[in-house]
A and B are shown apart, each in its own frame.
Chain A
Amino acid sequence: MKCQQCEKPATFHITELTGEQPQEIHLCEGCAQKYLMQTPGTGMPGKASLAGMLAQQLKVADTAKELEKLDEKCCPICGISFFEFRNQGRLGCPHDYVFFASELEPLIVNIHGDLLHKGKHPLTHKRSTESQTKLIQLRREMNEAIRLEQYERASELRDTIRNLEEGEEQSEDDHTV
C-alpha cells in the first residue's frame, strides 16, 4: 500500500476517531510524523482543523478584501499578524486576546460554547497587566534594536526593562511584608 500523501510505502496505519465516522489513514513514516505532530494526543483539534474552523468562520463574516486587510493586522505588543495566527493556530502573546478580541470571540464560542471563565482565579495579582505587556513589547523592541545594530537604543531599552522588573520585585516585597 502506498502512502496517501506521497509515493513511499505506507507503514503507519492510523485510525482517526475524532470525526463522525472512524477514518483510516495510511501514511509513510515521514508523513505520519507530520500528521501526528499536527494532532497531538490530547484530544484537541490540531492546528489544521483550527485554521479550517477559522477560515470557515471568516468566510461567512468577511469578504476577501476585508480578510486581506484583517490578515495584515498586527498585535502592537508581540508583532504577530492575524495571518500568522490563522496559519499556525497559535497566538503570539496574552495581549492578542484583547487586541484580536472581536475576531477571536466567534472562534472561542464555536470551540467552547461560552465566553466566560467559571473556574479558578489566581489568588494574588502581583503585577498590573499593563506592565506585563509592556515588558513583552520592550523586550521585542530591544531584540529588534540589537538586530539593527542600534546598540545605544538597545542599552536604553535594557535599562528600562531592568527598572520595570526591579520596580516590581520591589513592590512584590512590599506586598509580602
Chain B
Amino acid sequence: MDLNELTGRAGEWMKGAGPQSDIVISSRIRLARNIAEFPFIRRCTATDRAAIDKAVRDRLAEVPQLTDLAYMRVDELSDVDRHFLAERQLISRELVEAEGARSVAIDANERLSLMINEEDHLRIQVMKSGFDLVAAWDQINEVDDLLESKLTYAFHDKLGYLTACPTNVGTGMRVSVMLHLPALVITQQIEKVFRSLQKINLAVRGLYGEGSQAMGDFYQISNQITLGRSEIELRNQVHDVVPMIIDYERRARDFLLKQNQQDLHDKISRAYGILRTAQTISSEETMHLLSSVRMGVNLGLIDDLLIADINKLFVDTQPAHLQKLRGGPLDTAGRNSERALYLRRYLSQKEKDGADQN
C-alpha cells in the first residue's frame, strides 16, 4: 500500500456515512490475541518479536480472504508515516511509540487493521462509519475465526483469551463508539452523562489530538469489563446505551435552537468565519471551531458543506496529515500557517461550488 495514495482519500470512519452519522462518527471493535508458544511482548526478545511478526504474516498469506491486506513494518516507516496511520486510527499510539519489530496489515477501505506486536501479539480492529456495531462484530468475529484456524491463541478454559494485561483477559474485546456531543458540552450536561455511564461500567474518554483537552467535543464510549460476559453481551451493552446518548444530544440541540437560535447561529458563523480567513491556526483551535461548524451543518445553519467535508478536515489538519499533504516536514509554526492555508483553500472552494450550484 502506498501511504501517499491514502493521503488524499477519506478512510472509512471519515466518510460521514452509516446510521446516525450526524452524531456517531464511528463504531469500532478490537480483539486482543496472543500466540500460545511465545511469551507476551514485555518478555519477548528481538528474535521473538521478529518470529511473531513472521508467523502472523505467513499465516495471513494462507488465508484467501485476507491476502488482500496491505502489510507494513511500522518500525521501518518514517515518524511522519507512523503518526499518519495513527491519525487515521489504523494503528494505536502505543504501536507508534513502541520499539522493535512491529507491523500492521490494513484492508483497502481502511475498515480492518491487524496490529502485530502491540501490547499483545495481535490486535484485530474493525471500524465502521456511523453507528454500526452489529456489522463490526460480524466482520471481526469472522476475521478472528479465520486467523484462529491458522494460529494457536493463548487460551485458558476458565479465563478465556489470555492477554498481557489482566484488564483485557476473557474476551479481549473492546467495543467503542465515537460520538460528537457539542450540545451536551455547551449545556453542561456532559458530566451527568459520564457519571451515569461509569455506574454501568462503561468508560468515557475525550479524543486527544496535538496538545489539548477533550478536543472537538468528541467522546469515546467503551466497555471496561472484558471477562464474565459474552462478546454479544458486551457489544449490546454499548449498543443499547448509545441511542440514549444520541437522544440527549438531539434534545440539547433542540433546546439550544429554541432558547437562543441567534446566539447559536452567531457562534457557529463566527467559527466558520475564522476557519475561512485565519492566516495561522493551531490544531486545537481548528478542532474546536470545526466542532461548532459540524453542529451547524447538522442543524442546517451552514449549507456549503457536508458532514464528510468536516470529518475530512478534522483529519487532514492533524500534524502528520498536513506534512504528508504538503510533502515535507514542518515545525509547529509552519504547520499552523499551512493548516490555515489548507482550510482557506478547501473552504473557499466549497463556497464556490455551492455558489455555482445556486
Contact = CB atoms under 8 A, between A and B. Distances in A.
Top 8 A-B pairs, shortest CB-CB distance: A114-B228, A117-B160, A43-B203, A94-B154, A112-B227, A92-B43, A132-B36, A43-B222
- B-side binding surface: helix, strand, loop or mixed? mixed
B229 interface: yes
Contact of B229 (A24, A32, A118, A131): A118
Contacts of B228: 112-118
A143 B233 CA distance: 43
B356 interface: no
Interface of B: 30, 34, 36-43, 45, 47-48, 92-94, 97, 119, 141, 144-145, 148-149, 152-156, 158-162, 164-171, 173-174, 176, 191, 194-195, 198, 203-208, 211-214, 220, 222-231, 233-234
Contacts of B203: 18, 43-44
B173 A124 contact: no
8 contacts: A17-B206, A17-B214, A41-B220, A42-B222, A112-B226, A120-B230, A135-B38, A140-B39
B136 to A, nearest CB: 15
Contacts of B93: 36-37, 40-41
Interface string A21-45: 0101000010010001100111111
B159 A41 contact: no
B146 to A, nearest CB: 11
A94 B233 CA distance: 25
A143 B47 contact: yes
A89 B37 CA distance: 21
Given A14-B213, A112-B226, A93 B40 contact: yes
Contacts of B169: 97, 108, 112
B36 A127 contact: yes
Given A17-B204, A127-B36, A115 B165 contact: no
B94 A37 contact: yes
B161 to A, nearest CB: 8
B97 A90 contact: no
B58 to A, nearest CB: 12
Interface of A: 11-15, 17-18, 20, 22, 24, 29, 32, 36-37, 40-45, 47, 50, 77-80, 88-94, 96-98, 104, 107-108, 111-127, 129, 131-132, 135-136, 139-140, 143
Contact of B166 (A14, A20, A108, A118): A108
Contact of B152 (A90, A121, A126): A126
Residue in B144, B225, B226, B228 with the greatest tally of chain A CB atoms within 10 Å: B228
A109 to B, nearest CB: 9
Residue in A17, A32, A107, A136 with the greatest tally of chain B CB atoms within 10 Å: A17
A165 to B, nearest CB: 8
A10 to B, nearest CB: 10
B31 to A, nearest CB: 10
A80 B194 CA distance: 38
Given A17-B205, A40-B94, A94-B156, A80 B167 contact: no
A57 B195 CA distance: 25
Contact of B170 (A90, A112, A129, A136): A112
B348 to A, nearest CB: 31
A37 to B, nearest CB: 6
B155 A121 contact: yes
Nearest to B207: A41
Given A17-B205, A50-B165, A117 B158 contact: yes
A55 B251 CA distance: 44
Given A42-B222, A80-B42, A126-B152, A12 B211 contact: yes
Residue in B34, B176, B223, B229 with the greatest tally of chain A CB atoms within 10 Å: B229
A93 B41 CA distance: 8
Contact of A88 (B42, B159, B171, B227): B42
Contacts of A122: 148, 152-153, 155
Contact of B174 (A29, A44, A97): A44
Contacts of A112: 169-170, 225-228
A18 to B, nearest CB: 7
A136 B34 CA distance: 13
Contact of A117 (B41, B152, B159): B159
A14 to B, nearest CB: 6
